[in-house]
Structures are given as C-alpha cells and as structure tokens.
Amino acid sequence: MLLLQIDYQNIFLKDLDFSLAIEIGIRTIIMFILVLVFLRSTGKKGVRQLSIFEVAIIIALGSAAGDPMFNGEFAIVPSLIVFLFILGTYRLITYLAAKSQTIENLLEGEPMYIIEDGMFTLKEDGDANFAKDEFFAEMRAQNIEHMGQVRTAILESNGQVSFLFYPVDAHKPGLPIYPKPFSKRSEEILNEGDYACTHCAKIEHLSVSSTCNRCGKKEWVLAIDTKREN
Ligand SMILES: [Zn+2]
C-alpha cells in the first residue's frame, strides 16, 4: 500500500530559521523601497487607470522584485539591473510612442466608437463589438437611463468611456438600460409602439413581431423617452 507522506515541515518552513526570517524582512524592505522609487521615476502620477502597456510593466517589475524578497538564493543587484532595463525600455517606448501615432495605437489601443446617434456601432457581420452588461453599468454610473439620451460614446484606450449627450430637452426614445425595463424584452410584440432592438438599439415603430432592419436580430423592448436630469 502506498502511504502518502506529507512533509509539513517542508511545506511551511523549509529551511526557515530566525536569521533567515530577519534577512527576509530586510530584503523585503529594500525591494519595496526600490519598487516605489522605480514607479516614481516612470513619471506616472497614479494608477487609477492603467493601459495594457503599463500593466505589462507592473507584471515585469513584480516578478523581478518578488524573488529576492524571500529567496536567499537571489541577490538584489541582479533585480536592480532588471529594474533599470525595464525603466530604460519604458522610457524608449514612451519616447517612440510620442513620436509616432502608429506605435502609440499599437501600445495603448485606439479609442473606439461604441454609440453613434443613440445606437450601438456594428461590425460588418452585424455584431456589436464589446461586453454590453459592463457598458450598461458604466452608463448607469453616468445617470443615463436610456440610449436615446446619448449621441455618441467612445471607449477610450485607458478603459474609460466618454459620452456626448443630446440636449436635455431632446425628445428621442431609446433602449432602456436599467435591469427592470430591460428584462421585459421579448420577440413578441403585443401592443403597437416604439420598440428598441436589444442588440443594436435601433428604434422602430412596431405593431407585429419583425426582425431589426439594421442588425437582423429579433428581440425588442419597449423604448422609453425620459429626459436626462442635469
Ligand atoms: Zn438591431
């Protein structure tokens, strides 16, 4: 019979003794300060919105900083060399991105139109090209009640969404984005009225069930035309 021998000493402590614990403490303080100095020297003011490029830097930095914190086999100076090369590369790429729009778009991504004229933009195959639930939440955070209030929305390269609104007193029905009205969506049309396509947000006056003539889908929800509070 095979007996599973689990060496808890090895899992939890390995070769840890008091002097190694002290060494780990000192290594961690040094590496933490180096990481702070490094992040300050990149010139970033904060980390509220990170681009993909900056996330890559943080990952590279984190893995170079981690090992020498707790592993006695790793010295600090090699990590420092890694830091300097990351910083050099960061500076070089930032410089190139400032010179060339193409390189900047490759690194940071391009701003993308999500809403035009109160409707979702479509790819050639008629598919809206992003996660709608997430975007509805973003719109609700901006006090938007339905798509008819929004003229244009752009997904910026840092993940934020910029909105342009119709005038507050504009009377334009739109796709409701709050969960309760949105949950009443259906392929059936029971009463004649203005309906919004749940896929692309096109508004059509319907009395019978039909497909959206813009995106080809067939799910509708009663449009609303409440005015935006300002
Ligand atoms: Zn549609």
pLDDT of residue 128: 55
Q: Which residues of the chain have pLDDT under 50?
A: none
Ligand 1 centroid vs 77 CA: distance in angstroms?
A: 59
Ligand 1 centroid vs 175 CA: distance in angstroms?
A: 11
pLDDT of residue 46: 67
Ligand 1 centroid vs 90 CA: distance in angstroms?
A: 43
Same domain, 96 and 131: no
Ligand 1 centroid vs 202 CA: distance in angstroms?
A: 5
pLDDT of residue 48: 65
Ligand 1 centroid vs 198 CA: distance in angstroms?
A: 7
Ligand 1 centroid vs 147 CA: distance in angstroms?
A: 13
Same domain, 158 and 93: no
Which helix (DSSP H) or strand (DSSP E) does residue 1 occupy? none
Ligand 1 centroid vs 18 CA: distance in angstroms?
A: 67
Domain boundary among 86, 107, 128: 107
Ligand 1 centroid vs 128 CA: distance in angstroms?
A: 9
Same domain, 99 and 122: no
- Write a three-state SS string for 27-95: HHHHHHHHHHHHHHHCCCCCCCCCCHHHHHHHHHHHHHHHHHHHCCCCCHHHHHHHHHHHHHHHHHHHH
Same domain, 201 and 125: yes
pLDDT of residue 50: 72
Each residue of 4-15: pLDDT tens digit? 788 888 888 888
Same domain, 81 and 151: no
Ligand 1 centroid vs 220 CA: distance in angstroms?
A: 9
Ligand 1 centroid vs 158 CA: distance in angstroms?
A: 28
Each residue of 158-179: pLDDT tens digit? 778 999 999 988 879 999 999 9
| Pair of tokens at residue 20 | 């190694």
Same domain, 49 and 80: yes
Q: For residue 210, what is the domain's CATH number?
A: 3.30.240.20
Ligand 1 centroid vs 111 CA: distance in angstroms?
A: 23
Ligand 1 centroid vs 219 CA: distance in angstroms?
A: 8
Ligand 1 centroid vs 91 CA: distance in angstroms?
A: 45
Instruction: Judge contact between 85 and 91, C-beta under 8 A.
Output: no
Instruction: Judge contact between 86 and 53, C-beta under 8 A.
Output: no
Domain boundary among 64, 86, 107: 107
Domain boundary among 83, 107, 131: 107
Is residue 24, in this structure, part of any structural domain at all?
A: yes
- Domain count within the chain: 2
Ligand 1 centroid vs 143 CA: distance in angstroms?
A: 24
User: What is the domain extent for residue 43?
Assistant: 8-107
pLDDT of residue 149: 95
Same domain, 118 and 74: no
Dist. CA 140–CA 178, nearest whole Å: 7
Ligand 1 centroid vs 7 CA: distance in angstroms?
A: 61
- Write a three-state SS string for 97-161: HHHCHHHHHHHHCCCEEEEECCEECECCCCCECCCHHHHHHHHHHCCCCEHHHEEEEEECCCCCE
Same domain, 86 and 161: no
Ligand 1 centroid vs 112 CA: distance in angstroms?
A: 19
